[in-house]
Amino acid sequence: MRYEICLHPTAVNFLNKLSQKTKERLISKMRVLEDRPKLKRAGADIKKIRDVDPEAYMLR
């Protein structure tokens, strides 16, 4: 199952200000999250959002 990643407008602005190399690296990591959001990751704070259908997760 593939998930959709939604970014806050502030995060989009921040992403657009980064160098092309850094932006591409982050986008590739986000694509991995689309496929496997529940995978435990060191240093990542991934929480399931309650009472949402379909199920959704938040990454901080």
Length of the chain: 60
pLDDT of residue 15: 93
The two three-digit tokens of residue 46, written as one number: 């991934």
CA distance 33 to 60: 13
Dihedral angle over CA of 22, 30, 11, 57, nearest 10:
-150
- pLDDT single digits (tens) 39-55: 777 677 777 888 888 77
Q: Where are the domains of the chain?
A: 9-59
pLDDT one-digit tens code per residue, 1-60: 778 888 889 999 999 999 999 999 988 888 888 887 777 776 777 778 888 887 787 777
Cβ proximity of 50 and 40 under 8 Å: no
pLDDT number for residue 42? 67
pTM above 0.85, yes or no: no
